[in-house]
Amino acid sequence: MATLSRKQREIRDRERLILDVARRLLLDKGYLGLSMDRIAAEIEYSKGTVYQHFRCKEDLLTALAIQTKLKRVELFERAVTFDGRPRERMTAIGAADEIFARRYPDYIATEEVLYVQSIACKASESNQEAMQAVDGRCVAAVCGTIKGGIEAGDLEIPPPRQASEIAFGIWGMTFGSRIVGKTPTCMDQLGITDATTSLRRMQQAYLDGWNWRPLSHEWDYDSTRDRILGEVFADERAAITV
């Protein structure tokens, strides 16, 4: 049966409600401010009901992360449809990630907590697998683009280097810069005001370092970016040009 019973619909809606409330709390009050009691109070159900949806707090957080990672991977998979040279598609992924970071600021809060504490391992099997699957799609999009660059002859990866090493670098750099960039003291020390723009330049420098052609001084990636925002992310453009 494709249609759900009234009860099933109720449960599904309530799960959405829980996740919505949890995300807001996480963003507002941080990881420590996110309590199961508070969620229960806000949704006006008892705590036991919340625990019927998620076996523990970590499971809830993982579900939250999956929900938002899905948003990201959708943007990534849209990005790689960009019609251009592989490195332009890589730039498109960068733009996708920037849109993602702006549109879902709560994501950073979710993901970083998940990385740091050993949270994922407490989540239910199914949620762990689901999260891995989403991450896998993300990796596939990035690594696929890198391999596209190799196949097009724009990039060489002499052993023992691997295509995934480039991806690892981009991933680490992006994730790390976002966390470091959030701490004001660090930014004061460095004197950096616009972490987003800096990250963009850093990523291009990194790809130049792997000698991924066309290099940034041979090609106008700023206008590529404009095209990307116009052609692939027209609907999201507002989010990024604020």
Partner DNA sequence: CCAATTTTTGACCAACCGTCAAAAAATAAT
Partner DNA sequence: ATTATTTTTTGACGGTTGGTCAAAAATTGG
User: Scanning the structure block, which residue is given the tokens 């109070």?
Assistant: 41
| Binding partner of 55, given a second copy, DNA, none, CB within 5-8 angstroms per partner class | DNA
Write the CB contacts of 178 (distance below 8 Å, at least 6 apart in sequence). 101, 108, 195, 199
Q: Does 6 bind DNA (CB under 7 A)?
A: yes
Binding residue (CB under 7 A) for DNA from 36, 133, 143, 179: 36
Q: How many CA atoms lie within 13 A of 220 on its CB side?
A: 3
Tokens linked to 217: 């001084």
DSSP designation for 152 = T
∠ CA 152-154-158, nearest 5°, is 105
Asked if 222 interacts with DNA (CB under 7 A), we say: no
User: In terms of CB distance, is 52 or 197 closer to a second copy?
Assistant: 197
Nearest-approach distance from CB 35 to a second copy, in angstroms: 14
For helices 86-103 and 195-209, angle between their N-to-C axes, nearest 10 degrees: 160
Tokens read off for 230: 């116009």
Collapsing DSSP to helix, strand or coil, 10 comes out as helix
Per CB under 7 A, the list member of 15, 17, 42, 56 interacting with DNA is 56
Give the nearest distance from C-beta 25 to DNA in angstroms: 10
Number of residues that bind DNA (CB under 7 A): 23
Both tokens assigned to 169:
């670098």
Candidates 180, 239, 226; CA nearest to 82 is 226
Residue 219 binds which entry of a second copy, DNA, none, with Cβ cut-offs from 5 to 8 Å by kind? Answer: none
Q: Which is nearer to a second copy, 83 or 194 (CB)?
A: 194
Site residues (CB under 7 A) for DNA, limited to 118-177 = 122
Residue 176 CB, nearest approach to a second copy (Å): 2
Q: What are the residues binding a second copy (CB under 8 A)?
A: 30-32, 112-113, 115-118, 120, 132, 135-136, 139, 143, 161-162, 164-165, 167-169, 171-183, 185-186, 189-192, 195, 198-199, 201-202, 204-211
Contact yes or no for 47/21 (Cβ under 8 A): no
Interface positions with DNA (CB under 7 A) = 5-7, 10-11, 33-38, 45-49, 51-52, 55-58, 122
